Amino acid sequence: MTRPATSSAAVESRTVVWIDSRRALLVRWDGTPHVTRLESEVPPRRRGGEHVTHDAILRTMGAPDPDGHRSEHLRQFLQQVAACIDPRDPVEIVGRGPVHKRLADLVVEQDGRHGRAREVTARPAKALTEAQLIARVREIAGDSAPRVRRGVPASR
C-alpha cells in the first residue's frame, strides 16, 4: 500500500542513519530534514604488514589487546550515535561492514530497557550522500519530493 503525498504538517517523522566506524550521518524528517554529522575517534583497524608473534604467557598476564582499545572507542561512538536518534521515530540504519548492525542491536536493546517499541531496520549499503539520505527518509516518511520534468514549466 502506498501512501499519498501529504502536507508537511501531517508527515510522520522518521530517521535514517548511515554509519561506519569513522562517521555517522543522521537525517530526521518531520516535514523538513534535520541533519546531524558525527565523527568518531575510533582508531583505524590495524593492518598486519609484518609478522608479529604473541607470547601466550604475556596474553594471560594482561598484555594490552590492540583491538580492545578500538572496540571500546567503537562502543562509545555507537552509544553517542544512538543517543542522537529520537526515541519516538522509526529508524532505518544503513552502512558498510558490521557497524550498522551493531548500532541497530544497541538501539533495540535500549528500547527494550526503556519499554519502547518501534520499527528498527538495518541493511548494508555503500556510502550515501546527504542528498540520497534525505531522499530516502522523505520516501519512507511518505512525503516524496515532487518530480520536476525538464523543459516543462511548473504549474502554479
For the domain that residue 110 is a member of, what is the CATH number? 3.30.420.60
Does residue 16 lie in a domain region?
A: yes
Question: Does a structural domain hold residue 153?
Answer: no
The packing angle between helices 66-84 and 99-113, to 10°, is: 60
Task: Tell me how far apart the alpha carbons of residues 129 and 48 are, in angstroms, rounded to a whole number.
Answer: 31
pTM: 0.73
Could you give the number of structural domains in the chain?
Answer: 1
Q: What pLDDT does residue 137 have? A: 92
pLDDT digits (tens, 9 = 90+) for 64-96: 555 567 888 899 999 999 999 999 999 999 998
pLDDT of residue 11: 57
Which residue range(s) make up the domain with 80? 9-43+65-141
Residue 16 has pLDDT above 90, yes or no: yes
The cell 529508524 sits on which residue? Answer: 91
Report the pLDDT value the prediction gives residue 2, as an integer from 0 to 100. Answer: 41
Task: Write down how long the chain is.
Answer: 156
**Any domain includes 114:** yes
CA angle 24, 29, 35 (to 5 degrees): 35
Domain-embedded: residue 56: no
